[in-house]
Amino acid sequence: MKIMKMFKHDWLEGIWHRKLYLILSVLAAFFSCTGIHSSIIEHQKTENISNGTFMDYWIYLVDGCQAYKFDWYNSFVIPIRWICFITFLLIGVNNYMLSDLKGWGYQVLVHSKSRLNWWISKLMWSISYTLCYFFVSFCTVLIYCILRNVAVNFKPTLDIMKSQATESFMKFGNRNLYVAVLILPLLMALFLSIIQMVLSLYIRPVYVFIIMFIWLVASAYKKSWLLVGNLGMPYRMKPVLKSGFSTVQCFFVLIAASLICIIWGYLKFRKRDIFEKE
């Protein structure tokens, strides 16, 4: 019961009273949708292609980019849609935990006499906020598709993938496709929101945010297990990329990494002086 009361406090303070941050998810999804829709309209002037489906629009938002291969004639292009989508989430998560600890959260912690319960409540808040962020984004894309008479279908179309992404997305089986474009981006975002909380126990939240942003940009630049953005980027998965990551491996790596961060964060918070000043 204590944990649920603490979570209710975090839900009100960390999500409901900060709901304006969720507008960022609407903006990211909306501008992504307008981008692919405008491009499809232009292609329809010269080619006989369909209006696409909901899945085409969602993939366009979360697909990321191919790994950069150095070439004097090949410039590095940052995947703006993908970077903004994840960065806007981190903005909403950034600094809530420590700012709450300076306010009512301190009273909640003292009253509960349990740092473990307090940490679990913050984890529940982080997970809930991330789920809300993705849900709002999902609904934004869905509503946009309905308003634009785009088929609400969970299968990509070949002609749209050829023009807007890569036809290799058509090689996915249904299950692997859903894992690659729905589950893995969510798990990656959950991991990032958790590790952002953990790192804020060591350094100022603004510095943590900068580190996370650099980590994301580096993930777009290079394919590596250590650059976690790769694990939630559909463009880096097999069979889209022949030497890409396995969706199953990415799933378990992200789950394991999140659990390690949860334990690491609690061990650090258990020893933290809650009276210390930043």
What does the alpha-carbon distance between residue 195 and residue 202 come to, in Å, rounded to a whole number? 11
The residue extents of the domains of the chain are 2-270
What does the alpha-carbon distance between residue 41 and residue 123 come to, in Å, rounded to a whole number? 43
Residues of the chain above pLDDT 90, percent: 48
The confidence band for 13, taking pLDDT boundaries of 50, 70 and 90, is confident
Contacts of 183 (CB under 8 A, 6+ apart): 251
What are the tokens at 182? 């729905």
Burial class of residue 231 in the structure, from the number of CB atoms within 10 Å of its CB (0-12 exposed, 13-18 middle, 19+ buried): buried
Give the tens place of pLDDT for each residue, 54-70: 999 999 999 887 765 55
What are the tokens at 255? 């789950």
Length reported for the chain: 278
Contacts of 266 (CB under 8 A, 6+ apart): 115, 116, 119
pLDDT value of position 140: 97
What are the tokens at 163? 């023009």
pLDDT value of position 37: 93
pTM across the whole model: 0.90
Give the tens place of pLDDT for each residue, 28-63: 999 999 999 999 999 888 888 888 999 999 999 998
pLDDT at residue 105 greater than cutoff 50: yes
pLDDT at residue 166 greater than cutoff 60: yes
Q: Find the range with the poorest average confidence among 9-23, 141-155, 173-187.
A: 9-23
